Every structure is written in structure tokens, then in C-alpha cells.
Amino acid sequence: MLQHDVLHQYLTVFETLQYTAKLVLGDATDKEQYDNVMRVVAQLGLGHAVNTKVGGPEVRGLSGGERRRVSIGIQIVKSPSLLFLDEPTSGLDAHTSAKLVSSLR
């Protein structure tokens, strides 16, 4: 069975991560939330796509690898002490997989 990332197709990368930050980091200031989101964007190499809509069936947007990185970014924004990822590179080409693993390392 294919694995699909469940993301809101009309939000940009920044809006998606900012929304998560506001939900899980409610006690942090707006600046701290913004800084955390931008750190994750830089860490995952999504700076070029920060204002791009995530996209989906009805909206053109990110590539598969970028969408996967946004999904992982949602988890990283939460600042977990441990992160388990089940097949984070499944369905990605070799180049995108290598970039993702490098970002996570």
C-alpha cells in the first residue's frame, strides 16, 4: 500500500510548520516559535520552498521529497528528545533519499 503524507494542500511550508508550532509550543513567544520554525526549515533544506503551497490533488505544490521533509519537519518542530521514523525514504529516489538522511543526521 502506498504511504501518503497528510498535509493541508492550501498552506505554505511556513504556514504548515507555524501552525504546528502554535499548537505544540503554545507557551513559547511568537519570536521563539518563528525561530524554531525557521531553524527546522533550514535544517531540512526547505528554504527555497518556504512560501510554496504544500499542494495535493487539487493544488500544484511541492515535490514528493519536499512533502516528506515537511512531514518530518512537523515532528521536529515539537523538539522531541527522540524521533522514530518508519521508512522515511520510502517512495523517494536515491538523490532525494540521500538529502533527507543527510538532513536528519
Residue 32 in any domain: the answer is yes
**Chain Cα centroid distance, residue 38:** 11
Report the predicted TM-score, pTM, of the whole model to 2 decimal places. 0.83
In sequence order, what E strands does 1-105 have? Answer: none
- The CATH number of whichever domain residue 84 belongs to comes to 3.40.50.300
Q: So what's the pLDDT on residue 61?
A: 93
Domain that includes residue 41, residue range: 13-104
Long-range pairs, 19-25, Cβ under 8 A, ≥24: 20/74, 20/77, 20/78, 21/77, 24/77, 24/78, 25/77, 25/78, 25/79
Q: What is the pLDDT of residues 42-98, one digit of tens each?
A: 988 899 999 999 998 888 999 888 888 898 899 989 888 888 888 887 777 788 788
What is the total count of domains within the chain? Answer: 1
